[in-house]
Amino acid sequence: MFYLLLGIVLLFLNNDLSKAVITLMNVIIILVPLIGTIFGVMYYYNSREFTELLLAQPIKRSSIFLGQYFGVATSLAMSLIIGLGLPFVFYGIFNSSAIWDFSLLLVTGAFLTFIFTALAFVIALSNENRIKGFGYAILLWLFMAVIYDGIFLMSLLYFEDYPLDKFSLVATMLNPVDLSRVLILLKLDISALLGYTGAVFQKFFGTNFGLILSSIMLVLWVVIPTFFIWRIAKKKDF
């Protein structure tokens, strides 16, 4: 519902598909992780009783928790894709050149949902205290979405005498939020805005190798937290 509303409003305000896609990118990059984190943590804590009920039944532990995770993450990703997709479909995205940019946007959005829901589940599983769990989850989101960029920028300024191409590439890869942002920006061909770094990024991410590597990174960002969910759930007492 939220995504649907957002899509409609943006289209009306912008009246232009590719501009709407850019605005949408900013929203997706910041909001999708937030929604994934909050919903993940909230769902886990809310369904605790239910989980305990299930644990006494003849079901494997891993299927309980991974099932819950994929349930939440998939429905969030679906709501993102359907909610944002519908208004754009009615607007005539299929006849527009922005279709590929738009689908990349949705795919990265879905990835971000999966990543942050998994991280939220890991946090919720390792914190019995709800307030603490929520706090850590919000902090994680803040760190990834805002603080990380700040530190990144500071270090770039601080070490400006050195060649930083490699460093900035690696640093971008390590944060899923940044990675998605760079991917979309480059796809939208506005990398010229990024100046020299943009050129380096273009050279790297623009190639097939870069695209594959960043996709692998996104997949890893899903797989590793999911592995942690599985491991913590296996060892936890209820």
Partner 1 sequence: MIEIKNLHKKFGKNEVLKGIDLSINEGGIFSILGPNGSGKTTLIKSILGMVLPDSGDIFINGKTLKNNYKYREKIDYLPQIANFPGNLKVNELIAMIKDLRSGQSTNDAELIEIFKLQPFLNKRLVNLSGGTKQKVNLVLTFMFDSPMVILDEPTSGLDPISHLRLKNLIFAEKQKGKTILVTSHILSFVEEISDEIVFLLEGKIYFKGSIPELKSKTEQPDFEHAIASILSSSYA
Tell me which residues touch partner 1 (CB under 8 A).
Answer: 47-50, 52-61, 235-238
If the CB atoms of residues 61 and 130 are measured against partner 1, the closer one turns out to be: 61
CA 213 distance to own-chain centroid: 17
CB of 58 to partner 1, least distance (A): 4
CB of 158 to partner 1, least distance (A): 42
Q: Give the count of beta carbons closer than 10 Å to the beta carbon of residue 37.
A: 29
For residues 40-75, b (16+ Cβ closer than 10 Å) or e, as one string? bbbbbeeeeeebeebeeeeeebeebbbebbeebbee
If the CB atoms of residues 41 and 119 are measured against partner 1, the closer one turns out to be: 41
CB of 55 to partner 1, least distance (A): 5
Could you tell me the sign of the dihedral formed by the alpha carbons of 212, 218, 224, 229, in that order?
negative
If the CB atoms of residues 55 and 156 are measured against partner 1, the closer one turns out to be: 55
CB of 206 to partner 1, least distance (A): 48
Q: Is 138:132 a contact under the CB 8 Å cutoff?
A: no
* Alpha-carbon gap, residue 113 to 67, rounded angstroms: 16
If the CB atoms of residues 163 and 235 are measured against partner 1, the closer one turns out to be: 235
CB of 233 to partner 1, least distance (A): 11
Residue 96's SS3 state is coil
* Alpha-carbon gap, residue 218 to 142, rounded angstroms: 19
CA angle (179, 182, 186) in 5-degree steps: 140
Residue 168: closest CA among 135, 133, 194: 194
CB of 127 to partner 1, least distance (A): 14
If the CB atoms of residues 59 and 147 are measured against partner 1, the closer one turns out to be: 59
If the CB atoms of residues 59 and 139 are measured against partner 1, the closer one turns out to be: 59
